[in-house]
Amino acid sequence: MAGRPGREMFRIACVTASPVCKIRGGRKEGIMAARDAIRKKPRDTRGTFKRMISYIGYYKWILVLVFVLCFVSNILALLGPSLAGAAISEAAAGVGKVNFEAVFYYAKRMLLCYVLSSVLTISINIIMMYVSRLIAKKMRKDVFDKLMRLPVGYFDRNQAGDIISRVSYDIDVVSTCLATDVVQILTSLVTVVGAFGMMIYISPTLALVAVVTIPIAVAYVTKMRKITQPRYVKRSKNYGIMNGFVEEMFSGQKTIMAYAYEDRVAENFDRINHNAAEAYYDADYYGITMGPTMGSLNNLGLTLTAVFGSFLYMKGGISLGQISSFVLYSRKFSGPINEIANITNELYSALAAAERVFYLMDEEEEPEDRQHAALLEEVKGNVALRDVSFGYEKGKTIIHNLNFTAGAGKLVAIVGPTGAGKTTIINLLMRFYDVDAGNVLVEGQDVRDYTRRSLRGAYAMVLQDTWVFKGTIFDNIAYGRGGATMKEVVAAAKAAHIHSFIMRLPQGYETVVSEDGGNISKGQKQLLTIARAMLYDARMLILDEATSNVDTSTERRIQKAMRELMKEKTCFVIAHRLSTIQNADHILVVDHGDVVEQGNHDSLMADKGFYYRLYASQFE
């Protein structure tokens, strides 16, 4: 039996309209959940930083080369001030006659050192751009693979826009920081240590004067970290809220226009956009003060150096050339410190983004299959629920002691008012959620004794929320059925009554469907998904209002064709139009999580109970 790919299961999980999704997946609830997340305390900063750095470790040999180049580049740059001081000393030593040959000798070598250092720096930047791309690719793969392993409940609780924001914006921030800022900080240490060493070599007294501002700078940076990091966390999460809102509004644009709700949506976006802009401003307001403040402290150190250097020069304790070299080295010493202070802001922003990414990566995955779980093979389609109780949240049971049996090859319809628990039953059959009590049985065996992949592979699904992807008509129908032939695809399309429409397209089955099927109607998308389910080799079929977007005449023809194709297959149908399930072998009438009636259409109508009232209400 062909197994359904993991990504299809991910997609089905996302679009399954469970009550949790309906209750908690709306715009207001999703945004409120994201706002609650903003108020959470930041996670372990040190641990987050270590996990960020671990991604650099995947490319350690490239980074070894980068560090070697950085070391050589910095050494060459550090030679410049020494050569400049030597040239000035030669010029100052000549009384009436300057040894220009010696001056040019040192000047040429200084120029060569600076040119070579610049070439190496450009090479380092090119290499780090390449590493940045690799890190982003690796991190996105890890996040996407994680999403493949998360349960349906995660997607019910979180907005799609917020998830997309983590996969795109947050990972971009992290990868940029890892590839440039962290390396810049580490390589700047070479310059700082080397410049300070040369400053001590030239004049230990002036070196002590030059570093008097360092403790002040360290205390200032530490204080600013406590102020700015929470603000960067808030900024990233507000951007997630905004992305989630925009994604939802774009997907519901037609509904917004139909209800003339554009002004209200614009007002809501203005408020959310204002919050995001304020969070951005609040973070950068403090962040941008670090560079100028550190620059002022460095200038203070330079001023003290100039004053005390002048006294030493007048007393003959230092030469003019040495003072020149010392000043240049002091700039080399303070420059990286100033850069590190500026980069620190970006590092805090990256840590905030990394927290969101790693928070997703630490989400609890679907539990592993039981040890020695069996493959579901030789499926006949016998399904039963025994004393099943279930709730999406602890203490809130919505399915109570549910019992029913679906024999192999039977058509079972599940009907009831909105919120009665119909889709929840489907979630339990597919094991998107595990029951709190009782058993779901397939072929007489608890579904938890089977592997999830084989269990879900035994079902084909057609949901009310249709999904097609950017690709040809053929690819969309053949999705999930590897190696399907054109003959098989055409047969499925004919059975779904969409073959004639396909043949009217410019390239027939090779016509490319745009992203999310934007170039075909909703009803045609539904027929494509029905054809896909027909082609899929499964012994059990789930239809969740699968014909809600087609006309009544087409619906009857499709159901007749499906009935022929589904011989000896078990079919579960969620229907609101009761006229479409009159021929069902068994009808489950669900209300408030309980099966209040069972039987076929005739027997239920004769009982004149809940089903009778539902049916009558649709034909009054």
The pLDDT of residue 439 is 93
The pLDDT of residue 563 is 65
- Residue 598 pairs in a beta bridge with 588
The Cα angle at residue 254 between residues 252 and 258, in degrees rounded to 5: 120
Predicted confidence band at 564 (pLDDT cuts at 50, 70, 90)?
low
Q: Return the SS3 of 12.
A: helix
Say if residues 357 and 236 touch (Cβ distance below 8 Å).
Answer: no
Residue 42 identity = P
What is the per-residue burial (b if ≥16 Cβ within 10 Å, else e) of 255-293?
eeeeeeeeeebeebeeebeebbeebbebbbeebeebbeb
DSSP code for 368: P
Residue 155 has pLDDT above 70, yes or no: yes
What region, left, alpha or beta, does residue 516 occupy, with left being phi > 0 and alpha being psi -120 to 50 degrees?
left
CA distance 127 to 64: 12
CA distance 539 to 224: 63
Question: Tokens standing for 308?
Answer: 């005390």
Averaged pLDDT, 427-439: 90
Residue 25 has pLDDT above 50, yes or no: no
Averaged pLDDT, 416-435: 84
Determine what percent of the chain is predicted with pLDDT higher than 90.
3
DSSP assignments along 83-118, one per residue: HHHHHHHHHHH-SSS--HHHHHHHHHHHHHHHHHHH
CA 386 to chain centre: 38
Say if residues 131 and 214 touch (Cβ distance below 8 Å).
Answer: no
The pLDDT of residue 6 is 38
CA distance 73 to 91: 28
Predicted confidence band at 131 (pLDDT cuts at 50, 70, 90)?
confident
Q: How many CA atoms lie within 13 A of 584 on its CB side?
A: 29
Residue 196 has pLDDT above 50, yes or no: yes
Assessment of whether the complete model's pTM goes beyond 0.75:
no
**pLDDT, tens only, 436-487:** 999 999 988 999 999 988 898 888 888 777 777 788 889 888 887 778 889 9
Determine what percent of the chain is predicted with pLDDT higher than 70.
83
Say if residues 91 and 84 touch (Cβ distance below 8 Å).
Answer: no
Q: Which of 235, 239, 241, 243 is nearest to 284 (CA)?
A: 235
CA distance 274 to 69: 45
DSSP assignments along 23-75, one per residue: HHSSHHHHHHHHHHHHTSPP--HHHHHHHHHHHHGGGHHHHHHHHHHHHHHHH
User: Dmax over Cα atoms in the chain, in whole Å?
Assistant: 125
What is the per-residue burial (b if ≥16 Cβ within 10 Å, else e) of 581-590?
beebebbbbb
Averaged pLDDT, 43-71: 81
Sign of torsion over alpha carbons 180, 146, 235, 230: negative
DSSP code for 335: H
CA distance 356 to 43: 9
Predicted confidence band at 26 (pLDDT cuts at 50, 70, 90)?
very low
Residue 286 has pLDDT above 50, yes or no: yes
The pLDDT of residue 448 is 92
Cα distance between the two ends of the chain? 46
Residue 362 has pLDDT above 60, yes or no: yes
Residue 549 has pLDDT above 90, yes or no: no
Question: Tokens standing for 314?
Answer: 């007048």
Residue recorded with tokens 């059975």: 495
**pLDDT, tens only, 239-276:** 777 877 776 776 666 667 766 677 877 888 888 888 88
* Among the ranges given (58-62, 146-150, 207-211, 251-255), the one the predictor scored with the smallest mean pLDDT: 251-255
DSSP code for 374: B
Say if residues 371 and 220 touch (Cβ distance below 8 Å).
Answer: no
**pLDDT, tens only, 386-395:** 988 888 888 7
Residue 582 identity = Q
Question: Tokens standing for 119?
Answer: 């070439």
**pLDDT, tens only, 342-355:** 677 777 778 888 88
Q: Which of 461, 580, 465, 458 is nearest to 532 (CA)?
A: 461
* Among the ranges given (64-73, 227-236, 405-414), the one the predictor scored with the smallest mean pLDDT: 227-236
Averaged pLDDT, 191-199: 80
- Residue 411 pairs in a beta bridge with 571
Say if residues 555 and 547 touch (Cβ distance below 8 Å).
Answer: yes
More confident residue, 438 or 161: 438
Averaged pLDDT, 286-314: 75
Quote the mean pLDDT of the chain.
77
Averaged pLDDT, 126-151: 87
CA distance 22 to 16: 10
CA distance 47 to 53: 10
Say if residues 135 and 143 touch (Cβ distance below 8 Å).
Answer: no
Say if residues 290 and 341 touch (Cβ distance below 8 Å).
Answer: yes
The pLDDT of residue 132 is 84
Averaged pLDDT, 158-170: 80
